[in-house]
Amino acid sequence: MDNKELMMRAIELSEESVRRGGGPFGAVIARNGEIVAEAANNVTPDCDPTAHAEVSAIRKAARRLGTYDLGGCEIFTSCEPCPMCLGAIYWAHIDRIYYANDRKDAAAAGFDDDFIYKELELRPADRQKPSEILLPDEAKRAFRMWAEKEDKREY
């Protein structure tokens, strides 16, 4: 499949999601023009705020390929990925992102992707969600354990 066909599939998934009560988002992960995985937004049907199309597609692709490293793959999304999905795409090492709508389009439709992007630019103390550091010395033990572990599987 070419890039336009792959994007059209992501858009079709977004429309199917709306018809079944989900959000207007779809994602396709492909390698060499072949679909590896696809998913639509399942936040409301699954009562799962992390069940965005991109995250769901990444989970499916990783299971199908048997690896957490999706290098060599590309993702086609009906909308610019939100910060959570963008982070997941980077963690999965996906090579390239294609999107149709952007975060301003999502904001106009009532989604807070753009708000979260703006929050990330602020110092933690200036964000709308209060946060504070608690027990950092105790938590660093796990990092030391990781650093010293000889048989770790790095990712």
The phi and psi torsions of 44 (rounded to 5 degrees) equal -75, -45
Is residue 10 within a helix (H) or strand (E), and if so which, with residue range?
A: helix 3-19
* Strand partners of residue 75: 29, 97
Amino acid, res. 65: L
Closest CA to 79 of 116, 28, 25, 2: 25
Residues with catalytic annotation?
54
Q: Between β-strands 96-101 and 74-79, what pairing exists: parallel, antiparallel or unpaired? A: parallel
